[in-house]
Amino acid sequence: MTNLSSIPGIGKSSLELLEAAGFPDAESLAKAGVDELAKELERANTILQIAKKAPGRSNVEKWISSARELTGAPEDNAPKVAMPVNYEDSASVVKMLNDAPFAIPLPAKLLVDHQLGVGDIPPGILLNRYSGDLEVRVEDRVPAPKHGRPSVPSSSVRMADSVRMAEPAPSRLEIDTSRIKPIDALSGPAPRTKTTKAMEDDRVALIRAPRVGTNKGRNPNSRLYIRGVLHSHPISIAIGALITLVLMVMLPTGIISAALLLFSSEMPEKFGWVPKWLLVFPLALPVLGLIYLIWGARGSCRICGQKLFVPRMCLKNTKAHHIRGLGHIVPLCFHILLFKWFRCTYCGTPVRLKK
């Protein structure tokens, strides 16, 4: 392979330009065309800024002639190197791009207002990957007729002399309209359309967002603003929150009452003031514990499935309801009973109990 430095007239900057354009030796240079190589060197120099000025066409022609003399390549039969083609300069390609369908970006507020998900938007398909019929925007412009006469196709004008109009056919018998039955009598009563109330009660829509009237007149930044997905068992969650609060109050009360009653029976001279009705609190603990196992221990988040009213030693979500000194369960129960929605302690997802 002959080095490009052996060709006279090629400087250091021109040598770097030729190598950047894909001509590392004299053999590849001998196969190039003059005009194509001159344009390619000018484009490479514009991008790389190697030389102050790109080599001219006359210099490129001398280099190619010298390369062909060194390699023995014929002048006339030298094949031209295929250069990049800009298809956007073609009139047919420009017309196809103008007629092609285009996608219109939708603002995010429009998707939120109509409750549309990403899967509801049809995906765009590239033209080179589209199979089948393709709708294009084509305007059929017909020139205005001269002197108020309607435009007639040329084929109709050529065939006007050879076409003979048919004789008018005899009039048909009159139709007895009294024997015609209306379509409504055959099809039966019209189907009932869905009312607005039925659309609001749609199951999927209620799971995603509350009804419009639920938060009417409420501040979206307030805790009274009900948000989140609808829980599958809202009544059980509300009962579980209430039972959990009652049990947390009754558990220490029952233990203290049982201790006082025990001291009053053993040392009546010191604890004779303890009333006997305190026995109600220890006796109520087993009943409350059973109710807690039915509703409280089974209450779980709809999203992550974690138990809401069972204490766990783990990392909680930063958005969970928490009061220092009371933990997470007591604030969660109060929030459920007061505002009819809550954030899960473990995943932080807002879940509501009200439709």
Average pLDDT over residues 192-201: 55
Contact 210, 226 (CB under 8 A): yes
φ, ψ dihedrals at 91, nearest 5°:
-65, -35
- Give residue 97's pLDDT: 75
Q: Supply the pTM of this predicted model.
A: 0.43
Q: Where in the chain is the domain with CATH 1.10.150?
A: 4-71
pLDDT digits (tens, 9 = 90+) for 267-282: 888 888 888 888 899 9
| pLDDT of res. 80 | 52
d(CA 244, CA 308): 10
Distance CA 87, CA 84 (A): 9
- 4-71 belongs to which CATH class? mainly alpha
CA distance linking residue 83 with residue 313, whole number of Å: 69
The answer to whether 105 touches 124, Cβ cutoff 8 Å, is no
The whole-number pLDDT of residue 290 equals: 93
pLDDT at 330: 93
**Helices (DSSP H) in 191-296: which residue ranges?**
196-200, 203-208, 234-266, 268-271, 280-291
* Whole-number Å distance between alpha carbons of 282 and 273: 18
Which of 23-27, 163-167, 243-247 tops mean pLDDT? Answer: 243-247
Is residue 78 over pLDDT 50? no
Q: Which residues pair with 342 in a beta bridge?
A: 351
Q: Tell me the CA distances in angstroms from 53 to 21, 43, 45, 84, 191, one per residue in order.
A: 15, 11, 8, 22, 80
Cα–Cα distance for residue pair 241/296, rounded to 1 Å: 7
What average pLDDT does range 126-148 have in this prediction?
56
Instruction: Decide if pLDDT at 220 tops 60.
Output: yes
Strand order in the sheet with 350-352: 229-230, 350-352, 341-343
pLDDT for 291: 92
Work out the average pLDDT over 158-178.
Answer: 53
Task: Please compute the mean of the pLDDT values over residues 245-274 and round it to a whole number.
Answer: 89
Mean pLDDT, residues 301-328 taken together: 90
Higher pLDDT, 125 or 259: 259
8 A C-beta contact, residue 303 and residue 229: yes
Q: Which range has the worst mean pLDDT, 28-37, 214-223, 259-268, 296-305? A: 28-37
Could you tell me which residues are beta bridge partners of residue 350? 343
- Which range (125-129, 148-152, 299-303) has the least confidence? 148-152
The token duo for 43 is 């484009």
- Backbone φ, ψ for residue 123 (5° rounding): -75, 150
Burial of 310: CB neighbours in 10 Å, binned 0-12, 13-18, 19+: middle
Render the burial of 217-255: b for 16+ CB within 10 Å, e for the rest.
eeeeeeeeebbbbbbeebebbbbbbbbbbbbbebeebbe
Classify strands 229-230 and 350-352 as parallel, antiparallel or unpaired.
parallel
Say yes or no to pLDDT of 125 above 60.
Answer: yes
